[in-house]
Amino acid sequence: MRDLEPASSETLGHSPPSAATTELWSHDHLTTIIDRRLRVLLPGSQIPPQWLHQAMGYSLLAPGKRLRPLLTMLTSFHFGLRDLAALDGACAIEMVHAASLIIDDLPSMDNSALRRGQPTAHRQFGEDMAILSGIALLNLAYGVVGSMRDVSEDKRIRVVRVLADAVGSNGLIGGQVFDLRERTERMSQPRLECLNQLKTAALFVASAEIGALIADAPNSSVEKVRGFATELGLALQIADDLLDDHAHAGRTGKDTGKDEGKPTMPSVLGQDAAKALMERHLLAAHQHLEAIDGADGQLARYTEAAFSKLRS
């Protein structure tokens, strides 16, 4: 990784945030800041090996909602951080997410053709380069969090551990194995929820926890943040399953019907019951926020915004 200037409001062309400005920053504004920093953190596409660096940028910089890095930033603001010290941690989360999408889309996995409105990485660059770019993004993520200059060494170590746990056998990779080997039409609702916990909720938990850790949140609050993010991730997976319908073809930026024949909450419970379960997860998330005095703050508004289109 290149020797980088620390992420700060000044280096990104913004005035240093105060308590007032962090509350006023829109999600679009924060997304712009995240996207700019991602471009800085990435190796240049003309630096050898060019094919690899182009493939990394292709997947990482593709248009997306940036829900996970936004959650990191907003959680850090919630616990009183008034600068952009959590920005590189947020960008590392997005690198992990992009890598997971590359891997999920591979022919040996979901064999998807479309992701974020463009051909999947293996369709664009070949399966070999897609695999290598996913591995490279994962390694870049660890390098980024290990080099956060405005974060103490102890915090950096804790962040690396959180990220590693979210990626490994207790998180994304374990969830993918679960998906490939145990996802059959006889799968029960509890087992399906366990799958969703690993494949989706784990990275949301890491996103929120990293923001809380960097902001020096007390351990008791970190546990409540983990509970909030778990419920949020489970709700978002149900929302994603509800959108995985041919009726939404061309509107989601990715393949639809890819889980046809596989158990999902809508297929196991029915669409109405799945929507009701999603709302129960959202209510539980809101209750966790109430416990950390966040029921009416930025995290609550973030949650509402994430689901507004589905409810409209």
Give one DSSP letter per residue of 115-129, joined into a string. ETTEE-HHHHH-HHH
| Residue whose structure tokens are 């936004």 | 70
pLDDT of 150? 87
pLDDT tens column, 240-275: 999 876 444 445 455 555 666 789 999 999 999 999
Whether 190 has a pLDDT exceeding 80, the answer reads: yes
Whether 10 has a pLDDT exceeding 60, the answer reads: no
Token representation of residue 192: 């399906």
pLDDT tens column, 80-134: 998 999 999 999 999 999 999 999 999 999 999 999 889 999 999 999 999 999 9
> CB of 269 within 8 A of CB of 189?
yes
| CB atoms inside a 10 Å sphere around CB 243 | 16
Token representation of residue 105: 């889309």
pLDDT of 17? 55
| pTM (two decimals) | 0.90
Domains of the chain: 21-311 (1.10.600.10)
| CB atoms inside a 10 Å sphere around CB 5 | 11
Q: How many residues are present in the chain?
A: 312
Token representation of residue 241: 């399953």
Q: 295: number of CA atoms within 13 Å, CB side?
A: 8
pLDDT of 293? 79
Rounded Cα gap, residues 149 and 87, in angstroms? 11
